[in-house]
Amino acid sequence: MPYYSHPNKLLIDHLREVYNYAKGFTKELKKEDRLCLQIACLSHDFGKFTTYFQHYLLEGKKSGETYKHGLLSALFAAHVALESYEKGDLYPLFIYNVVLHHHLNLKSLDRSLPTTFFQEEEDYPETVNFENLGKQIKDLVFHKEEVGANLAELQLASYLNSFLSIERSKEILKELKRRHRTFIKGQKRTSTESKARYFFLHQLIFSGLISADKISAAGVSLPNKLPLAVDRIRVAREQRIGSSQRALDKVREEIFSNIMDRILTCYKDERIFSITAPTGTGKTYSGFFAALKIRELTGNRRQIIYGLPFTSIIDQSHQVINDLLTTMSDYQENSSRYLMKHHHLSDVEYHCEETEFSTDHALLLMENWEAEIVVTTFIQLFETLAGYRNRMLKKFHNLQGSIIILDELQTLPIKYWSFIEELLKQLAVEFDTYIIMMTATRPMILPQAQELLRDYQRYFSMLNRVTLQIDLNSKEVGEFVERFLVNHTQERSYLIICNTINSSLEIYHGLREALDATAPVYYLSTNLIPLHRKERIQEIKNLLGDKSIVNKPILVATQVVEAGVDFDFDVVIRDIAPLDSIIQGAGRCNRNGVGKGLVQVIKLVKEKGR
């Protein structure tokens, strides 16, 4: 009988296709790692050879739980691995775990194996049902010749006879438990580098398998890679910056040139870099072109992943890169193959002149990061790098050999810094990944990063654009509003940054009521939906850039404006905060260095002084 993995797709074709896709996704692997991937991919749907699954697939019939294929597939994959690797190797553990969970979120091995070494019936995890397993194995024994003929084409037939018994399944679980216990006991003696290798290999095999499985099942034809026309992109930047004689523009160009020169001298020996420069000095251009230069110097194959903390600034950075790429002749027809914006609220669309993709297929390509350049959030990036969710880990394999730009890394909660630092260091080693961290405040994370802007302190002293005033006398919100109204002048634009949404709303409503007819008062925080936030940011930027307006705008906001939003206010008022937040807030003041801006730090309290 023919065996199917999905309607209209033969199981053997699917297994081959998954392995071929996964080989392409996982790039260069050691021989033993490649075997690990091969066994996982060619065995991951072994359980679909039962007639229980075939009846379920083709006729919709469910016979209890016997149609499920995950556990049976994982045990067969582990059986093949135990026969293929040396005694004590950890590969069978990895293979068992990734196959067991290939339709699920990942779980730790200790939740997928017996709880004790002795394996009483109650010691087995809930996923192990020997009654169902026995029925499935009996079914396979009855159709052994047909199943074996299919497996022969995958060079797996020789493993079938020795697998088909409940006793063998118990032996497999017992051996996996033994290896896992030995591994756990030896962890204190295992180096960080070895642990990192185990972690990254496990995640890579899982990512390659599930990504290839979903693409094969959907019948999606992956678009071919396209080369970036770097020379045209460089010309586009030069045309946009023009030949301005303004002092700040000259500083921006000097910073850019120094970073490009520095890349040439250190890209071979280093993998982790930092760009420390004042706000408003073109870090988006500098970081992106630094990544392009590394890509060019290392063979033009590396994907560029641009990570940002908030969706509110993704649109801005994406637009900057998009404007550069529009000079390429085929960009409009293939925009998604070149540049992708990906977060949980992104429009689901994939532009490719070769194929018109359905919404489901477009989503699949987006979640797989099928683009030369991806602009995304820290959530997407770090939940892929250190997460367990199936949907996130589909794109883990894309971190291999990539160039990752981390813009405003200091916005991450400080409790995660040491963990993320170690993770990024090991990522650079294990996956030959380049990392570029960009900030104006040089946080105490990745201290070993090679600074691409040498003597960066000089640029901060050159661009002394604001006067800082500090008043730490406590003020209730109502008192602050009254004082602001007394000192407010229509000729100056104001940005007021609050620590809480409640205080920001209270100030906004107070100013709006008092100044309704005399000054435009705006509000911005994360409690606005991203579409409205994007529209409002653009409206405010237009007002700030219009020199003919008499009544300058006032913006009341939360910390959402501090990282990367390209605002240029005359006065910034900041509720007391950590120093890096104050510096980031000051970056929205006098951005173009015309005269001196004013930054005021105040201390807002509630009615009871909190």
Give pLDDT tens digits for 340-394: 999 887 888 999 988 889 999 999 999 999 999 999 999 999 999 999 999 999 9
| In the block, residue with structure tokens 């205080």 | 503
- On whether residue 37 sits in a domain, the answer given is yes
pLDDT in tens, 28-64: 899 999 999 999 999 999 999 999 999 999 998 887 8
Flag whether pLDDT at 245 surpasses 80. Answer: no
594, 532: one domain: yes
Q: What integer is the mean pLDDT of 246-267?
A: 92
For residue 207, the cross-strand partners are none
User: How many independent structural domains does the chain possess?
Assistant: 3
Beta bridge mates, 575: 602
225 in a domain, yes or no?
Answer: no
Residues 528 and 557 occupy one common structural domain:
yes
Residue 312: pLDDT above 70? yes
Is 282 found in the same domain as 150?
no
The beta strands (E) that lie in 213-303 are given as: 272-276
pLDDT of 106 higher than 90:
yes
Q: How confident is the model at residue 609 (pLDDT cuts 50, 70, 90)?
A: confident
For residue 540, the model assigns a pLDDT of 92
Alpha-carbon dihedral angle through residues 283, 288, 294, 299, given to the nearest 10 degrees:
-170
- Pair (471, 455) in one structural domain: no
Residue 370 and residue 396: Cα distance in Å, rounded?
12
Quick one: 187 and 243 in the same domain? no
Residues 345, 451 within the same domain: yes
Tell which of 218, 250, 274 closes a domain. 218
Same domain, 440 and 471: no
Reply yes or no on whether the pLDDT at 440 is more than 80: yes
pLDDT digits (tens, 9 = 90+) for 149-196: 999 999 999 999 999 999 999 999 999 999 999 998 888 888 888 889
Average pLDDT, stretch 504-521? 90
Type of residue found at 429: V
Are residues 187 and 302 both part of a single domain?
no
Same domain, 36 and 166: yes
| Claim to verify: residue 540 and residue 426 sit in the same structural domain | no
Q: How far apart are CA 387 and CA 503, in angstroms?
A: 35
The answer to whether residues 210 and 254 belong to one domain is no
522, 515 contact by CB (below 8 A): no
Q: Are 275 and 452 in contact (CB under 8 A)?
A: yes
Mean pLDDT of 425-447: 94
CA 224 to chain CA mean position, Å: 22
The pLDDT assigned to 321 comes to 95
Domain's final residue, options 419, 437, 459: 459
Q: Are 463 and 456 in contact (CB under 8 A)?
A: no
When pLDDT is averaged across residues 277-300 and rounded to a whole number, the result is: 94
Mean pLDDT score across all residues of the chain: 92
Burial status of residue 189 (CB atoms within 10 A of its CB: 0-12, 13-18, 19 or more)? exposed
pLDDT at 241 over 90: no
Q: Picking from 190-204, 306-320, 467-481, which range would have the lowest pLDDT averaged per residue?
A: 306-320
The SS3 of residue 587 is: coil
pLDDT of the residue at 121: 64
Structural domain boundaries enclosing 62: 4-218
Q: What percent of the chain stands above pLDDT 70?
A: 98
CA distances in angstroms from 275 to 192, 233, 408, 435, listed in the order given: 28, 21, 11, 11
Burial of 161 (0-12, 13-18, 19+ CB in 10 A): exposed
We report the CATH number of the domain holding residue 150 as 1.10.3210
Q: Is the pLDDT of residue 83 over 90?
A: yes
Q: pLDDT at position 27, please?
A: 81
User: Which has the minimum average pLDDT: 66-75, 225-234, 309-318, 466-475?
Assistant: 309-318
One domain for residues 432 and 284: yes
